[in-house]
Amino acid sequence: MPLPPIDTPFLVDFLTRLLNTPSPTGYTEQAIHLCEQTFASFPVQQKRTRKGALVATWPGQKDDSPRGLTAHVDTLGAMVKEIKNNGRLKLTKIGGFAWNTVEGEGVTIFTRQGRTLRGSLLLAKASGHVHGSQVNEIKREDEAMEVRIDERTTSAEETRALGVEVGDFVAFDPRVEVNAGFVRSRHLDDKACVACIAAAFKALKDANLQPAQTTTALISNYEEVGHGAASGFPVGLTELLSVDMAAVGEGQTSDEFHASLCVKDSGGPYHHGLSSRLRDLADREGIAYKVDIYPYYGSDGEAFWRAGGDVAVALIGPGVDASHNYERTHTEALEATTRWILAYLLAD
């Protein structure tokens, strides 16, 4: 039986809305709620974990070898580390990125009282007309960067009067654009894959189909700091398909137009047997894919392993250019990944 068709407009629309919902690690409630609303239209049983992840379980034709899917909704971001004497903010990073990849970006600051403030992330010595060649020479590190808030403030006292305090979350603007089949945005890692899982579930529902095995999707919210899917899956899970972006660049086979299977990353090899089954499924269904290794990468599947999860784990995802920077993928990669998830869900 051929795989059911994918609703690509739904996939791109949901992805766009998710990308435009700020969710730096630790501040993911709005994004999880959007996922919860979207998954409510599927025949799944939903619940939240105590640490705020979303768990959606779809009963299968069988329940003797239950499966898992995981993708993460949390993104890179920052928190307020210090309110400087000039009223500007020093940040601490959330996740592994370089400051130069977000220099000049617009930001939103979320105060504990619920107020949002806008600003920009800049060098503390940003003006070329004032600091000359230093602008090029300064190393982009924590001490060199600051947030300029779009409010009348020139002192720490005035900034605190706006409601800003140490520990407030800061999100970088995603700047989502969809052009000629490309989706260009920050935080495609890993909202692209959350959208692929949602699109796969919608395809099953629209075709009135059921997973071959009971399947639990965990939309995690702490992946960027290493422990997203360490907990939350039901007891008895036998295997886990982690869905996360594929790294595109020099020395990689992955590209923006294919799904990729990662067979090894910084945590070591994935489960050879499950990876081989996925390759066989892709070959059978005519799914365009690459096989790759990512030297500076880790996944939620490995987080579950490190927490003691006794399951087979494999990793697939769409090719994403400029990861942890201003990222880009193509709908062909999103569709291929979604079809691969579908093939896995329906396979005996």
Q: Which residues are catalytic?
A: 223
Nearest to 335 by CA among 1, 9, 2, 19: 9
Calculate ∠ Cα 241-74-7, nearest 5°.
60
Maximum Cα–Cα distance for the chain, whole Å?
69
CA distance 243 to 70: 6
List, in sequence order, the alpha helices (H) in 138-271: 156-161, 188-206
Q: Using an 8 Å Cβ cutoff, are 171 and 24 in contact?
A: yes
Question: Taken in order 15, 19, 25, 30, is the CA torsion positive or negative?
Answer: negative
What values do phi and psi take at 65, rounded to 5?
-150, 65
Record the tokens describing residue 213, joined without a space.
């095995």
Q: Using an 8 Å Cβ cutoff, are 210 and 42 in contact?
A: no
Question: Taken in order 31, 74, 261, 239, is the CA torsion positive or negative?
Answer: negative
